[in-house]
Amino acid sequence: MIDFNSVTTAIDRFLNSVLPHQAATLVECLIIAVCAIVAYLTFAIVMIYMERKVCAAFQCRVGPDRVGKWGLLQVFSDVFKMLTKEIIELCSSDKILYTLAPFLVIMSSIITFSCLPFDNGLQVLDFNIGIFFIMAASSFGILGILLGGWSSNNKFSMIGAMRSGGQMISYELSMGLSVLTLVVLSGTMQISDLVEEQTKGWFIFRGHIPAFIAFIIYIISGNAETNRAPFDLPEAESELTAGFHTEYSGMGFGLFYVAEFMNMFIIAGIATTIFLGGWAPFTIPGADAFNSAMFMIPGFVWFLGKTFFVIWLLMWIRWTFPRLRIDQVLVLEWKYMVPIGLLNLLIMTICVVMGWTF
């Protein structure tokens, strides 16, 4: 497998050899920022196209097929349309917060995206408290949604924002419990160490039933965190027209739209990192020939393959279950998922203390 640490180290040495240290650091930051944004936008395009095609498959339709072969240029056509749309100025809105809200949402999404380990050494941020940082960075996106709904001075936007706030803040708890369950199993919060530990076996297999239960809780919470059906009450078209972004047009709406799809990629990427081994290949203890063949596949191929599998699961859930009422959403979280998550965390702790893991 490719070790990108050697590649990044070589680039760092070259820049420091031809530039002063501070200038080299600045150039490295610019290169990383450009690469991260390009990757972010590329995956956003893939996610939007995949959503439309998967949705069409579940509904026995063809999906977009007019712009480009197989509709491959449809997303680019939509981006061009979005860029040319008029940005409507609202007379009674709080203009500063109204403008700031989409940028808060997209900033939260990009920062969290930068923490994903696509391969060995191929990630932007890697702290010894990486899991804690990911949870914190992903959480402040709710501020953008609340500000967008409130600053629009529209009752439908406000209701959608309040629903989203209550839902996302609630499901952060069960998501945190499921992640903490795997932190107890691994004994570390550093992303690179989490993946390195799973080269001996993915945590969803090594953690027995508690790890699988944590995975189920995480998938349900992830759907709620991204405001996707059956948890799409903040954007319920039949009730709230478009929810918290009703009053947004042009690229203001476009930023919310892109962030929603990329948040789904991020949720799937975190699930891949924590439960499914990240870039680590699938191995079988004792099967040396099979394991050697698996390690020949590049790590980023493993990561993207597992991530898009989880994305497909999330889309399957969206196009299968009907929308829940707000009381059902909160009852599911506080009466079922939180108690189950706490009990599951206790069981995992007992398993680790007693040595009942692989």
pLDDT tens, N- to C-terminus, the chain (358 residues): 678 888 888 999 999 999 999 999 999 999 999 999 999 999 999 999 999 999 999 999 998 888 988 999 999 999 888 888 877 778 788 889 999 999 999 999 999 999 999 999 888 888 888 899 999 998 888 889 999 889 998 888 888 888 888 888 899 999 999 999 999 999 999 999 999 999 888 999 998 899 999 999 999 999 998 888 788 887 766 666 677 888 888 888 889 989 989 999 999 999 999 999 999 999 888 888 998 999 999 999 999 999 999 999 999 998 898 888 888 999 999 999 999 999 999 999 999 998 887 7
What does the CA dihedral 32, 37, 43, 45 come to, rounded to 10 degrees?
-150
Alpha carbons 93 and 97: distance in angstroms, whole number: 9
Note whether 226 and 264 are within 8 A (CB). Answer: yes
Alpha carbons 98 and 121: distance in angstroms, whole number: 38
Bridge partners for 119 per DSSP: 122
Token code pair at residue 139: 């959480």
pLDDT value of residue 240: 63
- Nearest CA-CA partner of 170 in 220, 215, 133, 130: 220
Identify the H or E element spanning 83.
helix 74-84
3-state secondary structure of 179: helix
Note whether 281 and 294 are within 8 A (CB). Answer: yes
How does DSSP classify residue 49? H
Identify the H or E element spanning 75.
helix 74-84
Neighbours of 69 (CB within 10 A): 7
Neighbours of 222 (CB within 10 A): 25
Q: At what angle do helices 250-275 and 95-113 cross, to 10 degrees?
A: 30
Note whether 119 and 300 are within 8 A (CB). Answer: yes
Alpha carbons 202 and 274: distance in angstroms, whole number: 9
Residue 345 amino acid letter: L
